[in-house]
Structure 1
Amino acid sequence: MEPNNTESEKLHPPIKEKFKSIPETFGIRVNEEPIYNVLKKDGDFEVRHYPKQLIAKITLHGMSYDYFREHAFEKLAAYIFEGSESKKNEQLPMTDPILQHEDPNGAWTMSFILPKEYTLATAPKPKNPEIMLEEVEPYNAAVVTYSGNNKLSKIEEHKKELGEWVKKQNELAMTGHFFIAQYDAPFVVPHLKRNEVQVKVNTVH
């Protein structure tokens, strides 16, 4: 059952973030994205190496996917735009993509990747205790990229495609859960949206 939350959090993004929505409408991305190296490419499929990342994440239980997306984003965006416990006026720039995954118990987690200049020691500390900061060690990921509005049925379809593709690569083995990477806001023209399903992989020798 979904929680009875009748008041959405009021967000106040800085002016420069509001201006970003103009080019973003047409699929022009201006936010910082994580750096990675492409190790293998096969059409819409890739294997990438990502360096260490710092993420802010929140996990919510007992919600549908659409309800989770709305409320998790509100809470994380409040951290990004409205300062922190230690630095009241510090606002972080938005980055892409937003990452999401579901655990075996049905809880959903959403993560923002913090700008690369921040470390666990220097990042603003969240006021909301639901939001956790975490260092993610370097990893390899298999990825499939696709466009359009990211419905749950579409995500499941691409999870299956990616899993089947990885199984055909004799040198790869999946090591974790699937996660969703969304690069664009809901108002972006659907065919210009970039979505990905990713899964961490190890190389089998």
Structure 2
Amino acid sequence: MQQDDGKRCVQFTMPSKYTMETSPKPNNPEVEIVEVRAQNYDIIKFSGFTGSDKVDKKTQELRNWMQSKHLTPTGEPELARYDEPWALPFLRRNEVMIAYEQK
């Protein structure tokens, strides 16, 4: 995810056995550990590159599906990339995620 200052934001999820008190402490002062509340997401998975045209297309597909299921988005779309940059495109796993309100 690109931030306004041009830096990239990377997120990691810690296993449930950790708490804010017991999670490993970063050795870089620019790394922050923050607790994120539980959230439900709908996702669409795709492989290949994550160019803006492809991400926009997948985002619209996901929005259309959510609308057909009468799900109310509660956040902006997020792009998740799971592989290293040198992974072969057809092996890459990517997702567009949109948080929604559970009824």
Name the TM-score, length of structure 2 as normaliser.
0.80
How many residue pairs were aligned? Answer: 103
Judged with a 3 Å threshold, the aligned counterparts in structure 2 of structure 1 residues 59 and 184 are, in CA distance, closer, same or farther, namely closer
Give the 5 Å matches for 1:28-107.
60-63=3-6, 68=7, 72=8
Q: Give the Cα–Cα distance (whole angstroms) in 1 for the partners of residues 56 and 69 of structure 2.
A: 20
Letter in 2 for 1:194: R
Which structure would you say has the larger RCO, counting Cα contacts within 8 Å and 6 or more residues apart?
Answer: 2
Q: Give the Cα–Cα distance (whole angstroms) in 1 for the partners of residues 90 and 49 of structure 2.
A: 8
- Residue 51 (structure 1) aligns with: none
Question: Could you tell me how far 1:138 is from its partner in structure 2?
Answer: 2.3
Structure index of larger Rg: 1
Give the 5 Å matches for 1:1-205.
60-63=3-6, 68=7, 72=8, 109-170=9-70, 172-204=71-103
Letter in 2 for 1:118: Y
Deviations 1:150-188 (A, max 9, x none): 223322221222112211112x11111211111211222
C-alpha RMSD over aligned residues: 2.3
Q: Give the Cα–Cα distance (whole angstroms) in 2 for the partners of residues 183 and 117 of structure 1.
A: 22
Unaligned runs of 5+ in 1: 1-57, 73-108
Question: Could you tell me how far 1:203 is from its partner in structure 2?
Answer: 2.8
Name the TM-score, length of structure 1 as normaliser.
0.44
Judged with a 3 Å threshold, the aligned counterparts in structure 2 of structure 1 residues 166 and 191 are, in CA distance, closer, same or farther, namely same
Deviations 1:23-51 (A, max 9, x none): xxxxxxxxxxxxxxxxxxxxxxxxxxxxx
Letter in 1 for 2:87: V
Q: Percent same amino acid at aligned positions?
A: 32
Judged with a 3 Å threshold, the aligned counterparts in structure 2 of structure 1 residues 135 and 155 are, in CA distance, closer, same or farther, namely same
Residue aligned with 1:125, SS = coil
